[in-house]
Amino acid sequence: MPALIMPELLEALQFAAIHHQYDRRAGYSRLPYINHLIKVTNCLANRIGVRDEALLLAAVLHDVVEDTDVTVEGLERRFGREVADIVAELTDDMSLPYEERKRLQVERAAQLSPKARIIRLADKASNLRDLFNYPIEWSLEKKEAYLQNSEQVAERIKGDNPKLDAWFDETAAWARQQLQAQQPAS
Ligand code: ZN
């Protein structure tokens, strides 16, 4: 990792940790939100080998506008235009119902910029891992719907990074197996 990225990355981690400090992962008991942001960013940096500073900073900050009172303008002042633009692309309109947001993610996936696509795909893979690695109060139907939605989004944005595509495919196949294993025996 180029040494110059380190101070900025720590700045972004601290910023995310502070703004998400009372957030917990939806459905999971008390799982700190920052764990998710570190997991996605670490996957990109160390599993996929991403070295692009704006991409890694945006990965740390990808949910900060959606889930906290931070604005895109505030992000731009602190981390620059490129990072703010990537995060804006990844921000769902939280005034819409859950199903609608998931539908729009699929519909708009192909329009994402290449850097936003990379983060979206890593986010989906990471969420699928969490979904079956931690106890969560979701029905099997909701888990199945999440997996399907992730696969639909992935279909539209794969192709930029073979390593990441393979990681997503492997994760989705693993999630499918987990889902089958959780089906009640008939
Ligand atoms: Zn996320």
Domain positions in the chain: 5-182
Radius of gyration of the chain (CA): 16
Reply yes or no on whether 144 is catalytic.
Answer: no
Question: Which residues sit with Cβ closer than 5 angstroms to ligand 1, an ion?
Answer: 63, 123
pTM, to two decimals: 0.93
Nearest in space to 48 (alpha carbons), one of 179, 171, 134: 171
Catalytic residue among 66, 144, 165, 169: 66
pLDDT at 2: 63
- The band of 185, judged by pLDDT with boundaries at 50, 70 and 90, is confident
| pLDDT, tens only, 93-149 | 999 999 999 999 999 999 999 999 999 999 999 999 999 998 888 899 999 999 999
Architecture of domain 5-182: Orthogonal Bundle (1.10)
User: Cα dist. 120→22, 39, 140, 143 in Å?
Assistant: 23, 13, 23, 18
- How many A from CA of 155 to the centre of ligand 1? 18
